[in-house]
Amino acid sequence: MPPARELERCVKQLGFHGFMGQRFSQIGSADNATYYDAPSVCRFWDAAASLGKPFYLHPRDPLPSREPIYDGFPWLTAATGIRRRDQHPPLRLMSSGLFDRHPTPAK
């Protein structure tokens, strides 16, 4: 997840029109999944909301250690897992109170 300063630089200096992030980030170790509803990401959302730009939550494959049911059958992640796994991050954001804290939609 980019720091708040990087969001501001991308919009103000580089002219970006929005942000894209994957459904989780690996922070600290390759086996860590940090989701966008984590308390450590509050400054990111404060900066994103103040810039008034849209955010796109892009899907990504799960960490192998968190989805052992796909061991030996990687094609199953695309065939069966996309809808199930990619609905959780947006639901986490909706239920975390994020949109209550930042109710103004992007312009």
Q: Any idea which of 6-15, 28-37, 75-84 has the lowest mean pLDDT? A: 75-84
Largest separation between any pair of C-alpha atoms in the chain: 46
How many C-beta atoms lie closer than 10 Å to residue 77's C-beta? 16
The pLDDT tens digits of the residues spanning 85-107 come to: 677 888 888 999 998 998 887 66
In which element (H, E) is residue 6 found? helix 4-12
The pLDDT tens digits of the residues spanning 52-65 come to: 999 898 887 777 77
Q: How far is CA 17 from the centre of its chain?
A: 17
pLDDT-derived band at 31 (thresholds 50, 70, 90) equals confident
Tell me the whole-structure pTM to 2 decimals. Answer: 0.73
Radius of gyration over every alpha carbon of the chain, rounded to an integer in angstroms: 15
Contact 27, 83 (CB under 8 A): no
